[in-house]
Each structure stands twice: as structure tokens, then as C-alpha cells.
Amino acid sequence: MPRELRKRPTRDTTANLSKRETHRTTKERGRAKAGGVSQARDHRTNTPPAPTGDEPPRWFFDSCREALRPIHELLDRLEENVTRFAAISVINYNARLGGDGKDFLPVPFENGQMPSDDLTPLRQSTDVDRLTAAQSKAYFKGYYPAEAIPRNSGDRKERIKQAIGC
């Protein structure tokens, strides 16, 4: 290697590169792009290279997806726990209010979704008492999806009050 190239490159030293050295470095760069990772075959599965040089091969995505699966499962469980914790917090807040006179916070259903806009908001215990049969069935199914809906409207409304912390 010429002595001036051992130093930190400057404009002067790069300008003094011979045409042969410039051609060699350009050729090496081209070879690196053409024969890089995107063109390599996986020696374990003999997977062909990606269709274009810019995209990683298909096996790369499959390997990443498989490697990230435990993280996705952990995040799903974490999301479920946070949703459950938020619901418990709202129920406790509503229970501390102790009845009418102060507005309750809306409690999410068992699946984490908030009650739809076409259902009457339950701000006080009297709002639960005023629910229609269809609305009380919808609320009951949201708060207790695994249970059979009681035929008695009063029983449904009592269970809804328990679910929201009345």
C-alpha cells in the first residue's frame, strides 16, 4: 500500500489514487453488491435467493417471525393483563363512589372493548335500572360472555351493577 494511503484519507490523497486502484475498489464494491447476502443460498435449507437484490430472502422473514414469536406472545399476555388491571381499577373507583350522585367511569367488557355507542352509558346505578331488556342483555353478554343470560331482567341488572362496581 502506498505510504500516503496509510494516513487518514484527505482530498489530496484520494485524488492521487491511481486509475488501477480506483478501478479495483469500484469493481470490489460491485462484486459485494452482486454477491452479497441477498444472493446467498441458505446452506441448511438450500433456499434460493430473493427475487431482487434489494429484498431479503423469504427464509429471512420466516426465521425472524419464528424468532419473534415468543416476544409477540409475551406482548399479547401483557396487553391482556393491562386491560384486566384497567377494568379492575375502574370497578374499584366506581365502588368507592358509593352509588348515585357521582358519575361512574365506563367499565370495559370482558374482551377489553368498551360498550358500543348505541348502548345507554351507565353513569349511575339508576341508569342500570332504566335499561331496556335488549340493552341489559347486551351489557350482560359483554360483562359475562361465558354465562347464560338470565331470563329475569332484575337478575341481569344486579349482575351488571356488580360488573361495573355499584
Q: For the segment 121-139, what is each residue's pLDDT rounded down to a tens digit? A: 888 888 899 999 999 999 9
Cβ neighbors of 99 (< 8 A, separation 6 or more) are: 124, 125, 166
Buried b (16+ CB within 10 A) or exposed e, 14-41: eeebeeeeeeeeeeeeeeeeeeeebeee
Percent of the residues in the chain that have a pLDDT greater than 90, as a whole number: 27
Q: Which residue has the higher pLDDT, 28 or 92?
A: 92
pLDDT of residue 118: 86
Rounded distance between C-alpha atoms, residue 30 and residue 112, angstroms: 54
- Examine the pLDDT at 119 and tell me if it is beyond 60: yes
Domain limits, the chain: 55-166
**In Å, how far from its chain's centre is CA 74?**
11
Residue 158 has pLDDT above 80, yes or no: yes
**How far apart are the C-alpha atoms of 11 and 14, rounded to whole Å?**
5
Count of other CB atoms within 10 angstroms of residue 106: 14
In this model, does residue 46 exceed pLDDT 90? Answer: no
DSSP states of 53-116: TTSPPHHHHHHHHHHHHHHHHHHHHHHHHHHHHHHHHHHHHHHHHTSTTSPPPPPP-TTSPPPP
pLDDT in tens, 49-85: 545 667 888 888 889 989 999 999 999 999 888 888 8
Q: Is the pLDDT of residue 21 over 80?
A: no
pLDDT number for residue 14: 47
Residue 105: which pLDDT band, with cuts at 50, 70 and 90? confident
